Amino acid sequence: MDDRELQELVENLSLRYFQRSFNHQASFNSRLQTTGGRYLLTSHNIEINKKYLEQLGKNELIGIIKHELCHYHLHLEGGGYKHGDADFKQLLKEVDAPRHCATLPNRPKRKSSMKLYIYACKSCNQLYKRKRSINTKRYVCGRCGGKLKKVIEGS
């Protein structure tokens, strides 16, 4: 499937499920990493992650397009187009669109054993867990202002 076929699919789905035309551009964006698609507020265009079509098939792609069309039509009509808005949730139900897209099977998993640095305040013993190392000469305790010391080095 190329951008022209995607454009036709988006226009057809818009008419079928929303009874409104899609008058902007739909295209594949290979730079999308963590999402199936996105609706651009300024240009009103829709970008789709082609990996979802390749790895999960056309049904998943259709779900992503319907989700993005919910953002599109609600935004243009002045309704609540954000994920937390009641209008958006209601329209998702009406057109049977997913709230979130599935996880790609070929996506690299995060390390379960993430490095963790633990710091303690020398005065009040408040503990701070951090994923990144911090400069203890530059930062102080948020509770009492005391100096910090590294308790556990990231492993």
User: Which among 68, 77, 94, 153 is annotated as catalytic?
Assistant: 68
Ordered by start, the domain boundaries in the chain are 3-95, 117-152
pLDDT in tens, 59-81: 999 999 999 999 999 999 999 99
**How does residue 19 score in pLDDT terms, banded at 50, 70 and 90?**
very high
Is residue 11 flagged as an active site residue? no
Torsion of CA 74, 78, 79, 85, to 10 degrees: 100
What pLDDT shows up at residue 155? 59
State the architecture of 3-95 in CATH terms.
Answer: 2-Layer Sandwich (3.30)
